Amino acid sequence: MTSNPFLNSERQLRHCWWILIFFLVLAAFLIPTIILAQKSYMEISIGIQATIILLTSFIGQLLRRKSLADLLGKLNIGWFKELWVGGVIGSALMLIPAIILGIFGWVSWRWNPIDFAALLSSLLLFVSVAAAEELLFRGFVFQRLITGLGQWPAQLITAVFFLLIHLNNPGMTGTVKVMASINIFLASILFGLAYLRTRSLAMPLGLHWMANWVQGGILGFGVSGTQQSSLLIPAFTELPVWLTGGQFGLEASTPGLICLVATLVLLSKWKPVTRTGKE
């Protein structure tokens, strides 16, 4: 008997078609938004991007007759605890390499007299970045890939696309590009593993958010090559950029890579959470 290309054995739409539907709905929102932004000579803020991806995800879940909580994780005390744990891990992921660089005198810092509003603005910016990227890369599509192909194929496919969207970032050249590519690829695996261990977007969201904010908003490094207002301003000694990461950020540094690998190993030993209602 020939298998149905659209429906699985349970007479449900195959996951590849759900992924296609997701991107079609996303395009239906993005294309008019881009046209309007161009006509108004405005940029599409990361907050708007996050809202569009969230709305697209909601529509996808609605079509599948699933709740948004099935995608994000149930918003209860446990969800916010996982968000906090992710934030602590993400902060440590950047603070430890920075401390190592500081102890050896490879990087030093001076205070930057920015006001509270600027610091809050950077915090909200990185919330939006983390929300947009986690919804896109660990949300609807990732979860359909897991169910359709398995965990590691889903991880590898997502990590490749996560890396591709960062390849044209400022400073992605030479040894920086090599180091940063390895770090960004492994960071995607880390965020995906955080989802797989908790079956919720809370921990990967906290990890992503605080890693970016501590790196850029507090320590003053670039975040994947982009610069933001920060509480501290770093000064680098004359050392190879692959060691310190330079202006690109700790994502291109050797201590950053070591800490990332160590965090991956530790999280891999985390006992997975079993939740009801998941496929």
Check the CA dihedral 165-170-172-175 and report its sign. negative
Backbone region of residue 226 per phi and psi (left: phi > 0; alpha: psi in -120 to 50; beta: other values)? beta
Q: Where along the chain do its domains lie?
A: 74-268
Q: At 100, which amino acid appears?
A: I
**Long-range contacts for 155-164 (Cβ within 8 Å, ≥24 apart)?**
155/188, 155/189, 155/192, 155/193, 158/188, 158/192, 159/185, 159/186, 159/188, 159/189, 159/192, 160/185, 161/137, 162/133, 162/137, 162/187, 162/188, 163/188
Instruction: Output 259 or 271, whichever has higher pLDDT.
Output: 259
DSSP string computed for 35-101: HHHHHTT----HHHHHHHHHHHHHHHHHHTT--HHHHH---SHHHHHHHHHHHHHHHHHHHHHHHHH
Query: Residue 32 has which token pair?
Result: 């008019």
- Strands 107-111 and 232-236 turn out to be antiparallel
Cβ pair 260, 187 in contact under 8 A: yes
Look at residue 277 in the predicted model and tell me its pLDDT: 45
pLDDT exceeds 60 at position 2:
no
Mean pLDDT of the chain: 91
What does pTM read for this prediction? 0.93
Among 5-14, 166-175, 197-206, where is mean pLDDT lowest? 5-14
- Residue for token digits 């947009």? 132
Look at residue 279 in the predicted model and tell me its pLDDT: 47
